[in-house]
Structure 1
Amino acid sequence: MSTLILDATLADGRVRDVRVEGEEIAAVEPSLDPKSDERMIEAGGRRLFPGAIDAHVHFREPGYAHKETWETGSRSAAAGGVTTVVDQPNTTPPTTTGAAFDEKAELAEKSLVDYGINGGVTAEWDPDSLFDRPLFALGEVFLADSTGDMGIEADLFADAVARAADEGVAVTVHAEDADLFDEAARERDAGGTGRDADADPWSQYRAAEAEAAAVERAVEVGSDSEADVHIAHTSTPEGVDAATAGGATCEVTPHHLFLSREDATELGTFGRMNPPLRSEERRAGMWERLVEGDVDVVATDHAPHTVEEKETNLWDAPSGVPGVETMLPLLLAEARAGNVTYERVRDVTAANVAEIFDLPRKGRVEVGRDADLVLFDPEETREIRGEDLHSKCEWTPFEGRTGVFPDLTMVRGNVVYDDGTFGEAVGRNVRE
């Protein structure tokens, strides 16, 4: 059955009818005659966007299904207008071998939305078997980050980037230089609650300077190997500027665009993430670069943990916050308020991502592209509440903020979300 969406306002303001036949967009015209057997959707001036592509999620399977699963994570994505996600390798086992990739790929078949699977690098990685799979990218590669099992040394990083370049695979880099972390911040922290906006020991510990230094090193290594380097979750204007100057692309998270150290008192340990929240001045600088076009991608680093796991000492709490369901609604609310254009939102959540990661069928409302579509009414706003969202963790750092949520989400012509009702798991690997 074909579907005709009537009188939809696109990101650039044009009002068009959009016909979907099978899995792709068949027509985008000012006025189309309905077919007798066609399903019709009256947009009535509502806006129609290409589905968002979240290039950075942690859906936690295998290994941590108590935090999130492919089913719950993809439901959250669909309800937030995200039609493609890219899952990161730091699961258990980590996605560093062909066998680990296959295990994750089998679990991903439960996804409502399309997906990519990133491979990772550790001292034990197996590039021969990993690159033999339909890999999305190499990442999240933890350059000089000694705080987790995925951290690697400089020589191995250079070798991995060179191998990825040979294979024609992009490299997504977690750029923080652990040598520049401020160990004295631990000693200065009296209670470990994370609720002091002036002290904010986690932000002091993972200092802003550590990011820019690592970005500069990553782009230098990438340039030597002629690799496509993408910098994950840049949290400072200096990090964005270093990526731009070095010819790399970069992503920024919603939490680094909308939250700062001034939110530390309210968030406490729920605001611990890597990289950490920065000063309000730096947050404003990030927003400025988003509006002006220096930021290539907004991606969530969706990293859910349970409430019980977060309710502990700052130094023991796991890092990460959920965000896949609220990314697009938060940005659309800003576009509604006139703080950013709808076209810019489309670009950083869909069009740019598709271009950077070579997804020619994704990212735009154009004939021949996949019918990954999101329909929403910009005049219908909603207060964000963790209890209303669909991630398994059931909380959000954006509690009480305003979002514009989708009415309808389609993945390759399949309705996966319709006003609170979910469709079937139709997701597939975008590299196959």
Structure 2
Amino acid sequence: MLIRNATLADGRVRDVLVDGETIAEVGEGLDAEGDVLDADGKRLLPGMIDAHVHFREPGYAHKETWTTGSRSAAAGGVTTVFDQPNTDPPTIDTASFEAKARLARKSAIDYGINGGVTEAWNPEELFEEPIAALGEVFLADSTGEMGIDADLFEDALEEAEAAGVKVTVHAEDATLFDEAATERDDADAWSAYRTAEAEIEAIDRACAVANGLDSEIHIAHTSTPEGADIADEAGMTCEATPHHLFLSRADLEELGTFGRMNPPLRSERRRDGLFERLVDGTVDIVATDHAPHTREEKDASIWDAPSGVPGVETALPLLLEEARKGAIDYERVRDVTAANVADIFELPNKGRIEAGNDADLVLFDPDVSVPVRGEKLHSKCGWTPFEGHEAVFPELTMVRGNVVYDDGEFGEGSGENVRE
């Protein structure tokens, strides 16, 4: 395929020739014998690499599957995902990795499978498997079944360093949660309970441990500007989610329990500060923490509803809307969704529109903005916390030269494990 007259992130108008799975040439006045797509007036970006999703299989297929999650991703311009290990069973050894790998072969897009760390993990087995990273390691004192103590955290960093595997960290210190908030039942109680200070302190501690071991870590879903600053000053990388960039505690009255996630939504001041750090380069990447639950599960009390929101289909469209409005430039969108992700997680053939790279491409009309509607999205959960937000959705998504999404229709693309 030849994509002609496409406007790239830096504003250059170029032809992009795709030969098989790769980009053969980027230039002007190119010719091709195959299909020609006129992209005049439209923009072309590398596909988004979402380094943090929960596609829920195995164990929770009623929430999402590799088929529904990957199709939702493709419709949102995401061409590669890293799936987190807290499934059932958790991905902590050879047997659990292979169980997830069999399911992941149904993915419409490329993927990585992250390994997990628990008291029962088997690093000797796990690092023999083609894992993408150690995913969302829950720092000491964090809540959840996959929380680990300080000694195991250090052991995990040392094991990963020896194996050459990146470690991503979920940093919240449960000892700094505000127990007084548990007496409340309003939608804001969860944000009041899981304090900003709990995240800030945990990020500081995680970075200090990593520097002490001469290791590098990646901080997952940073929800505070202070946390992003700490990671940056410590020489670590961090990600921010669309919900922490575009939603705040001011939205909770409308969202109710559908706005509960970990870390929780922060104040409008902190949300604005986090977005500023995305623009200025302090925040390295955007990752969705796509964590769908059914409507029935979320329709509960603030203390009983599960944490997590869907986001894989809306992340890039929401950022493209901000670029359309001039709040962030297209080059920065490219970097935080693709180029920087490829660098951090060592995906040398992805993240940039260059000859020799995988033909992971997203084409969109920058002038066509529409409101997000949950009923039109493709995640199995059928809802979104961004209902009514304006967004610029892709027209076409390609994964290694295969058209996996084209104006509402899905192709026959078959995803591959990026580590195999």
Q: TM-score with structure 2 length normalisation?
A: 0.99
RMSD between aligned residues:
0.8
- Alpha-carbon distance in structure 1 between the residues aligned to 2:85 and 2:137: 9
Match of 1:12 in 2: 10
The 5-angstrom pairing of residues 277-426 of structure 1 reads: 277-426=265-414
- Unpaired runs of at least 5, structure 2: none
Is contact 1:118-1:136 (8 Å) kept?
yes
Query: Following TM superposition, by how much is the alpha carbon of 1:425 offset from its aligned partner in structure 2, in angstroms?
Result: 4.0
What one-letter code is carried by the residue in structure 2 that aligns with 1:177? D
Is contact 1:114-1:430 (8 Å) kept?
yes
The yes-or-no answer on 1:113 pairing with 2:109 is: yes
SS in 2 for 1:392: coil
- Unpaired runs of at least 5, structure 1: 195-199
- Alpha-carbon distance in structure 1 between the residues aligned to 2:51 and 2:368: 27
The yes-or-no answer on 1:204 pairing with 2:202 is: no
Match of 1:60 in 2: 56
The 5-angstrom pairing of residues 8-407 of structure 1 reads: 8-35=6-33, 38-187=34-183, 189=184, 192-194=185-187, 200-407=188-395
Query: Following TM superposition, by how much is the alpha carbon of 1:226 offset from its aligned partner in structure 2, in angstroms?
Result: 2.4
Query: Following TM superposition, by how much is the alpha carbon of 1:204 offset from its aligned partner in structure 2, in angstroms?
Result: 1.2
Query: Following TM superposition, by how much is the alpha carbon of 1:34 offset from its aligned partner in structure 2, in angstroms?
Result: 2.9
- Alpha-carbon distance in structure 1 between the residues aligned to 2:83 and 2:28: 38
What one-letter code is carried by the residue in structure 2 that aligns with 1:257? L
SS in 2 for 1:151: coil
- Alpha-carbon distance in structure 1 between the residues aligned to 2:240 and 2:142: 22
Is contact 2:17-2:32 (8 Å) kept?
no
Query: Following TM superposition, by how much is the alpha carbon of 1:147 offset from its aligned partner in structure 2, in angstroms?
Result: 2.3
What one-letter code is carried by the residue in structure 1 that aligns with 2:305? A
Query: Following TM superposition, by how much is the alpha carbon of 1:145 offset from its aligned partner in structure 2, in angstroms?
Result: 4.3
- Alpha-carbon distance in structure 2 between the residues aligned to 1:225 and 1:134: 24
- Alpha-carbon distance in structure 1 between the residues aligned to 2:235 and 2:202: 15
Residue range with higher mean Cα deviation, 219-228 or 310-319: 219-228
- Alpha-carbon distance in structure 1 between the residues aligned to 2:32 and 2:419: 34
Percent of aligned positions with the same letter in both sequences?
Answer: 70
What one-letter code is carried by the residue in structure 2 that aligns with 1:116? G
Question: How many residues align structurally?
Answer: 420
What one-letter code is carried by the residue in structure 1 that aligns with 2:415? G
Match of 1:197 in 2: none
SS in 2 for 1:238: helix
Is contact 1:171-1:227 (8 Å) kept?
no
Q: TM-score with structure 1 length normalisation?
A: 0.96
Query: Following TM superposition, by how much is the alpha carbon of 1:225 offset from its aligned partner in structure 2, in angstroms?
Result: 2.4
Is contact 2:248-2:268 (8 Å) kept?
yes
What one-letter code is carried by the residue in structure 2 that aligns with 1:137? A
- Alpha-carbon distance in structure 1 between the residues aligned to 2:382 and 2:216: 36
Query: Following TM superposition, by how much is the alpha carbon of 1:30 offset from its aligned partner in structure 2, in angstroms?
Result: 1.6
